[in-house]
Amino acid sequence: MIQFQHVSKSYGKTPILKDLNFTIPDGQFVILIGPSGCGKTTTMKMINRLLEPDSGTILIDGQDIHNQDKVELRRHIGYVIQQIGLFPNMTVAQNICVVPKLLKYDKSRCDQIVQEMLQLVGMEQYADKYPSELSGGQQQRIGVLRALAASPPIVLMDEPFSALDPMTRESLQDEVKSIQQKLNKTIVFVSHDMGEALKLADVIIFMESGQVVQMASPEEMLEHPANDLVRNFLGKHAPDVPAPSTVEHFMRTNVVSVRKDRGVLECAERMARSSVDSLLVTDEHERYVGTISIGDIRHWGRELTSIEPLVRQSARTARVGDEAKESFDYLLDSGANYVVVLNADDTIAGIVTKTSVARSVAENLWGEAK
Ligand SMILES: Nc1ncnc2c1ncn2[C@@H]1O[C@H](COP(=O)(O)OP(=O)(O)OP(=O)(O)O)[C@@H](O)[C@H]1O
Ligand SMILES: [Mg+2]
């Protein structure tokens, strides 16, 4: 676990990092992202003490790293940077084994590490080649393997793939993600590419001017970007929120209904009270069965006790989830007053009226109506 507690740093009088506070749990793939100059590299370099904070504390597994020997600390932290930095006069195998050798691992253990590492990226046959004999992407793969060779629990990666062509970058991203999951590493990865962040990260830390603007999972960030800058960064990756187009968005829900076993008089009274000339009728399970009109009650009502014989199935119905357009077209063409919207279980969800059509038009013209 890596913890930043009130970490601040200035260069001269310019504050660069301002009271950073965050915790990175073990085994997480964390991406630091934000505009150029926001302090990503500075933040990362503090984790392996290439830079020191002016104030605040950084803890790894609960230990203040300020009190730890730098060299010892870095043995537990792999580091990959954009400029690959393989040693040109060393073979691939020797490059991979720089740290294991420093740690005085014996030859057979080093050989085994080389083999295991190269297997991770399918480059076993390259062990004795020199960096100049490798493509850029292959060299960067070896750079990643070198950082992993002594099996550090934490790996820092500062825009490791930004100099690579898109195809190579894609495949290295896949490889690093699968290595991270296989070996259960904590990876702190600097990127300014939101596509890369969304693809790789368990958690994205979005920085702006030396502060954390948002720390969230890719899904959360996509759904609730903290501010316009984050939204801009998400850009084309943000889901297009489709304009609402289904009936339930436009329907009225305060609808007067009556049970079919009710009396004619009661029904007429309720219409009067609600100033309507028809009511929706339901059965004993609240399921829609039809409508009843004041005209029919006036005509036939005298001889009847319950309204059931007067219920008509003439009103048009739609289902929740149906496109509103069909109902709108119907209302405008037929002159009908409403379309009844039903839930999946046939209970009444609401009604779409001509007022609903007007609201939809208004929303399309002026945005979300109040
Ligand atoms: N040695 C230095 N002396 C003075 N200012 C510095 C120094 N190193 C970095 N800065 C400034 O600190 C700020 C943060 O730099 P940092 O390298 O952390 O940014 P970054 O987010 O990694 O940017 P980029 O995406 O361009 O790599 C920048 O404004 C930079 O100019
Ligand atoms: Mg940087």
Tens of pLDDT, residue by residue over 236-285, are: 887 766 667 889 988 998 888 999 999 998 888 999 888 888 999 999 99
Type of residue at 349: A
Q: Which atom of ligand 1 is nearest to the CA of 159?
A: 27
The residue whose CA has the least distance to atom 16 of ligand 1 is 39
Closest C-alpha residue for ligand 1 atom 5: 11
| Mean pLDDT in residue range 94-118 | 92
Cβ neighbours of residue 37 under 8 Å, at least 6 residues apart? Answer: none
- How large is the average pLDDT for residues 176-182? 90
Mutate to test the pocket of ligand 1, among 18, 36, 41 (most ligand atoms within 8 A of CB): 41
Distance (Å) from CA 226 to ligand 2 centroid: 22
Model confidence at 37, pLDDT cuts 50, 70, 90, reads very high
High-pLDDT (> 70) share of the chain, %:
96
User: Residue 370: what pLDDT?
Assistant: 40
Please state, in angstroms and rounded to a whole number, the distance separating the CA atoms of residues 60 and 47: 9
41 lines ligand 1 (CB under 6 A): yes
Query: By alpha-carbon position, which residue is closest to atom 10 of ligand 1?
Result: 11
Confidence tier at 369 by pLDDT (50, 70, 90)? very low
Secondary structure (3-state) at 60: strand
Q: What is the average per-residue pLDDT within 219-234?
A: 92
> Rounded CA gap, 152 and 149, in Å?
8
Q: If you average pLDDT over residues 321-349, what whole number do you get?
A: 93
Q: What is the mean pLDDT of residues 282-296?
A: 94
> What are φ and ψ of residue 321, in 5° steps?
100, -15
Domain with CATH 3.40.50.300 in the chain: 2-237
| Closest ligand 1 atom, residue 190 Cα | 22
Average pLDDT over residues 332-339: 91
**Cα angle for residues 145, 4, 7 (degrees, 5° grid):** 120
Ligand 1 close to Cβ of residue 134 (< 6 A): no
Q: Whose CA is nearest to atom 28 of ligand 1?
A: 37
**All CATH 3.10.580.10 domain ranges in the chain, comma separated:** 247-366
Q: Which atom of ligand 1 is nearest to the CA of 44?
A: 18
- Containing H/E element for 340? strand 338-342
Q: Yes or no: say if 33 and 197 are a contact pair by the CB < 8 Å rule.
A: yes
> What does the pLDDT read at residue 22?
97
Q: How far is the CA of 362 from the centre of ligand 1 (A)?
A: 49
Q: Is the pLDDT of residue 367 over 60?
A: no
> What's the CA gap between 47 and 20, in Å, rounded?
13
Regarding the domain delimited by 247-366, which CATH topology (the fold level of the hierarchy) does it fall under? CBS-domain (3.10.580)
Tally of CB atoms within 10 A around 301: 19
**Residue 38 Cα distances to 159, 277, 291, angstroms:** 14, 65, 64
Average pLDDT over residues 183-191: 94
Buried/exposed 351-367: b ≥16 CB within 10 Å, e otherwise: bbbeebbeebeeeeeee
Query: Which ligand 1 atom is nearest residue 35's CA?
Result: 25
Interior/surface letters 64-86, b for 16+ CB within 10 angstroms, e for the rest: ebeeeeeeebbeebbbbbbebeb
Q: What is the pLDDT of residues 57-100, one digit of tens each?
A: 999 999 999 999 998 898 889 988 877 679 999 999 999 999 89
* Radius of gyration, alpha carbons of the chain: 33
**Percent share of the chain, pLDDT over 90:** 63
- What would the CATH number be for the domain defined by 2-237? 3.40.50.300
Nearest to 76 by CA among 24, 12, 148: 148
